[in-house]
Each structure stands twice: as structure tokens, then as C-alpha cells.
């Protein structure tokens, strides 16, 4: 639908530490500081995180998203009224469990080992009736902190409605989320607390100083490196207890099939200019004369006609991110090449040769990032890459 396409988030990206922290401080002064430690803190954190996300949007993007959010709000209230009228008279007793894993994105291989023997259930987000007293508490809270942005009301109510049914079905001690990047994260924590549950969050991909990931609040935050917890706290988040763990997908296989390709080239999630694309294609042609190459598009940007034509012409293999898992793609090769990416970190843990192509984004993070600052990953340019690979693979 047009409204779904309109609601997709697109913005420019600022990863540099000092400008981001200055922006976070300004937003915190305006929206959060006076509400810390009060019943309105979660509402204020939600609004502050939204402001961090919205700072880089253009005026027309903000206007269009407001219109779309108002339409969705009207739709939500109508749907919620219908669901309330159709509710069954008697509800079953909730099932007692240790925890519930939410969201289709949170795969089993992301879970910390400590939950291996817990009584866990999975919950696919689906809307259910959100009691009007809960709706009222959400609306009154946002009004009390001075928020009039329809997107904040809309997305918060939709997210709470999607999680509400979980507490009718189960009685969990904790809820596992994958949401620190989403400004509704703090409201989901607020809802967990309403039902006496704790909110545990699994880190969603790689992190840098990015205002989108600021201000969130959870009870426990599982990260790959303690440096990610420091980034969260620097950006006024309340990550609770920071727990460092290694996901299963980052544990190297003791035994497994030998790689059948030499190099996996990761295409970026975002568009690059024509000159950069030409350089990539020239380098791929050079590499393909010597090595067996696989190309993997990003799931958010899966099709590039020129690169697809090139891979077919030069006999390169294409890894479909919708059909082949990241771990399987990494284990099929000896070396992985790409712009700054979570998959490069996964490849590092899988003891592959890893080459990160330098660009403006990498320059913004390489002085503080837990993996890219200490030489764990080789940082190079496309022009120098063939020589490095020749030296390392032969």
C-alpha cells in the first residue's frame, strides 16, 4: 500500500561521536531531563528517541509522515473499537512461562545461552484489543510531556496493541525484544512493567553513535562487546544491566564443509554514487579473473541490474539474502569484503579474512567502534583490495 511505502524510514546518517552527542544533549534538555525518575519517563524517552530519529528528515518527509500517521491513528481507533466489541466474555488463564520471545526477526541463534533451558514461548506480533484505560494512559502521558507528533501516538499504540495479546496468552517473567533501534522500545518496556514482566533486549545489529539508538530504556541489554553498552549510556539510554554474550552465529564451527568459494562481496544497504559503483565493478572484474567470487546484496537493496548482469557475464555466484542465511554465506568462503556491516563482524568471529572498504561512514566510527578501531578488521580501498587478497590467499 502507498501508506506503507510512505511510512518507511529514510534519512541521512550521522555516526560521528561529538556531533551526535551534542544533538542528544539538546534533545535530552528539551524532552527528557525534567521527567527522569517520574511516571512520565518512558513517555519522555519515547518522544526523545523519536526526535533523534526525525532530526535528519526533510520538511516534506516530516509533513507526509504526519499525514500518514493521522490516517493510521483513525484506522487504529476504529479497529480497536471493533476488537473490543468482539472480545470473548471469558479469557483463559494465562500460561506461566519463564519468558516470551517477540518478533519474527529475533531468531533462535540470537538468543543468549542462558535461555537454552528456560521455558520459552514465541509471540508473533499481531494486533489485539488494547484496553481503553491503557490507550488513555498512553495519550495522557504524551500530552503531559508536550508531544503532539501523530507518529509517536500512532506507532506506540500499534506496537502496544501488537504486544498486548502476549500478556493475555502468557504470564512471563521477562519478554525478549529486538527493539532498541525503534523509538517505541521504551513504551514496550512500560507495558511489560504494567504486567509485572521485565524487558530484556537483544542488540539489533551493529551499533555506532547514531541518534536513532539513543534514549531507549530496558531492564537488561545483551551486547556483543561492552563498548556497545558504553555507547548506549553515552547517548542517554537506560540499558539496565549490560550483558556481554556471543550469539551462536558468531561461534566458529569446530567442523564443517570446506569453503567452495574464495571471496564473498557484500553490497551496501544504501545507494552509492555512479563513480563508486564503477570502481566496485572494475574491482570485481579484476578479482573474478583470479578467484571464485560470490556477490551478496543487502536484504533492503536486493537488486542492482548492472551488478546482476555483471555477475552473470563473469560467472560469479549470487547469494540471495532472502533464501540463504548470512552464516551459511560466510562459511562458504575464505574471505569477506564489504562496507562497514554486521556481516563483517560475523565473518571475523567465523575466523574468515575480513576486508572493510573505507568510506565516509567508516571514517566517522573507526576511532571508537569496538571492532573497527583496533585493527581487528583490515581497512582498505577498492584499488588496494586485489593486492591484499593476493597476498593473503596465496
CA distance 214 to 234: 8
**Does residue 58 sit in the same domain as residue 117?**
yes
Q: What is the pLDDT of residue 252?
A: 75
**Burial class, 126, CB count within 10 angstroms (exposed 0-12 / middle 13-18 / buried 19+):** exposed
Examine the pLDDT at 242 and tell me if it is beyond 80. Answer: yes
Examine the pLDDT at 4 and tell me if it is beyond 60. Answer: no
Q: What is the pLDDT of residue 299?
A: 75
Q: What is the pLDDT of residue 155?
A: 96
**Does residue 76 sit in the same domain as residue 118?**
yes
Q: What is the pLDDT of residue 382?
A: 87
- For residues 258 and 63, the model is more confident at 63
**Does residue 221 sit in the same domain as residue 343?**
no
Residue 257 lies in a domain: no
Whether residue 266 contacts residue 368, with contact meaning beta carbons closer than 8 Å, is answered with: no
Count of the separate structural domains present in the chain: 2
Residue 256 lies in a domain: no
Residue 180 lies in a domain: yes
- Could you tell me which residues come within 8 angstroms of residue 230 by beta carbon, excluding any fewer than 6 positions away? none
Among candidate residues 228, 250, 272, the one where a domain is terminated = 250
DSSP 3-state of 90: coil
**Does residue 363 sit in the same domain as residue 384?**
yes
DSSP 3-state of 31: helix
Q: What is the pLDDT of residue 106?
A: 64
Mean of pLDDT over the chain: 86
Examine the pLDDT at 12 and tell me if it is beyond 50. Answer: no
CA distance 280 to 360: 16
Q: What is the CATH number of the domain that holds 278?
A: 3.40.50.2000
Among candidate residues 215, 250, 285, the one where a domain is terminated = 250
**Range from 117-121, 370-374, 380-384 carrying the lowest mean pLDDT:** 370-374
Q: pLDDT (tens digit, 9 = 90+) per residue, 188-230? A: 999 999 999 999 999 988 888 988 899 999 999 999 989 999 9
pLDDT band of residue 108 (cuts 50, 70, 90) is: low
**Does residue 210 sit in the same domain as residue 238?**
yes
**Does residue 110 sit in the same domain as residue 241?**
yes
**Does residue 219 sit in the same domain as residue 274?**
no
pLDDT band of residue 258 (cuts 50, 70, 90) is: confident
Q: pLDDT (tens digit, 9 = 90+) per residue, 128-148? A: 999 999 999 999 999 999 999
Examine the pLDDT at 8 and tell me if it is beyond 70. Answer: no
Crossing angle of helices 17-27 and 226-234, in 10° steps, is: 50
**Does residue 286 sit in the same domain as residue 337?**
yes
Q: pLDDT (tens digit, 9 = 90+) per residue, 142-183? A: 999 999 999 999 999 999 999 999 999 999 999 999 899 999
- Could you tell me which residues come within 8 angstroms of residue 365 by beta carbon, excluding any fewer than 6 positions away? 15, 16, 208, 209, 340, 372
Residue 258 lies in a domain: no
CA distance 280 to 269: 15
Q: What is the pLDDT of residue 104?
A: 66
Q: What is the pLDDT of residue 372?
A: 83
Strand partners, 243: 222
Q: pLDDT (tens digit, 9 = 90+) per residue, 288-306? A: 888 999 988 887 766 667 6
Residue 302 lies in a domain: yes
Q: What is the pLDDT of residue 322?
A: 82
Residue 102 lies in a domain: yes
Residue 255 lies in a domain: no
- For residues 196 and 10, the model is more confident at 196
Whether residue 341 contacts residue 265, with contact meaning beta carbons closer than 8 Å, is answered with: no
Examine the pLDDT at 364 and tell me if it is beyond 80. Answer: yes
**Does residue 193 sit in the same domain as residue 242?**
yes
**Does residue 149 sit in the same domain as residue 275?**
no
Q: pLDDT (tens digit, 9 = 90+) per residue, 300-337? A: 766 667 677 777 777 788 888 888 888 889 989 999 99
Q: What is the pLDDT of residue 288?
A: 87
Among candidate residues 250, 278, 301, the one where a domain is terminated = 250
Q: What is the pLDDT of residue 55?
A: 80
**Does residue 245 sit in the same domain as residue 148?**
yes
Q: What is the pLDDT of residue 302?
A: 61
**Does residue 220 sit in the same domain as residue 315?**
no
Domain hosting 147: range is 2-250
Residue 226 lies in a domain: yes
Amino acid at each position: 500500500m502507498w501508506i506503507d511505502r510512505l511510512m518507511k524510514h529514510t534519512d541521512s546518517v550521522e555516526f560521528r561521536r561529538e556531533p551526535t552527542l551534542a544533538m542528544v544533549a539538546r534533545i535530552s534538555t528539551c524532552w527528557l531531563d525534567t521527567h527522569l525518575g517520574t511516571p512520565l519517563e518512558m513517555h519522555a524517552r519515547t518522544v526523545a528517541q523519536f526526535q533523534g530519529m526525525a532530526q535528519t528528515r526533510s520538511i516534506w518527509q516530516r509533513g507526509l509522515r504526519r499525514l500518514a500517521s493521522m490516517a493510521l491513528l483513525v484506522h487504529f481507533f476504529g479497529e480497536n473499537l471493533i476488537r473490543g466489541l468482539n472480545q470473548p466474555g471469558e479469557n483463559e488463564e494465562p500460561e506461566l512461562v519463564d519468558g516470551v520471545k517477540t518478533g519474527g526477526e529475533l531468531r533462535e541463534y540470537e538468543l543468549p545461552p542462558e535461555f537454552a533451558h528456560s521455558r520459552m514461548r514465541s509471540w508473533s506480533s499481531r494486533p489485539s484489543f488494547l484496553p481503553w484505560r491503557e490507550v488513555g494512559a498512553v495519550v495522557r502521558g504524551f500530552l503531559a510531556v508536550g508531544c503532539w507528533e501523530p507518529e509517536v501516538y500512532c506507532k506506540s499504540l500499534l506496537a502496544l496493541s501488537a504486544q498486548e495479546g502476549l500478556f493475555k496468552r502468557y504470564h512471563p517473567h521477562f519478554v525478549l525484544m529486538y527493539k532498541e533501534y525503534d523509538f517505541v522500545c521504551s513504551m514496550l518496556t512500560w507495558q511489560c512493567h504494567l504486567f509485572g514482566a521485565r524487558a530484556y533486549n537483544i542488540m539489533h545489529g551493529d551499533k555506532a553513535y547514531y541518534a536513532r539508538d539513543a534514549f531507549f530504556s530496558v531492564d537488561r541489554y545483551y551486547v556483543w562487546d561492552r563498548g556497545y553498552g558504553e555507547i548506549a549510556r553515552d547517548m542517554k539510554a537506560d540499558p539496565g544491566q549490560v550483558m556481554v554474550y556471543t550469539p551462536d552465529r558468531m561461534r566458529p564451527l569446530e567442523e564443517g564443509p570446506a569453503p567452495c568459494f574464495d571471496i564473498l562481496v557484500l553490497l551496501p544497504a544504501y545507494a552509492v554514487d555512479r563513480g563508486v559503483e564503477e570502481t566496485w565493478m572494475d574491482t570485481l572484474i579484476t578479482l573474478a579473473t583470479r578467484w571464485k567470487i560470490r556477490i551478496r546484496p543487502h536484504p533492503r537493496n536486493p537488486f542492482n541490474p548492472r551488478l546482476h548482469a555483471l555477475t552473470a557475464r563473469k560467472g560469479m555466484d549470487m547469494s540471495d539474502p532472502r533464501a540463504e542465511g548470512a552464516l551459511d554465506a560466510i562459511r562458504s568462503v575464505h574471505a569477506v569484503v564489504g562496507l562497514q556491516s554486521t556481516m563483517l563482524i560475523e565473518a571475523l568471529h567465523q575466523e574468515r579474512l575480513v576486508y572493510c572498504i573505507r568510506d565516509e561512514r567508516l571514517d566517522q566510527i573507526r576511532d571508537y567502534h569496538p571492532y573497527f578501531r583496533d585493527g581487528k578488521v583490515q581497512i582498505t580501498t577498492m584499488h588496494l583490495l586485489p593486492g591484499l587478497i593476493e597476498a593473503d590467499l596465496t
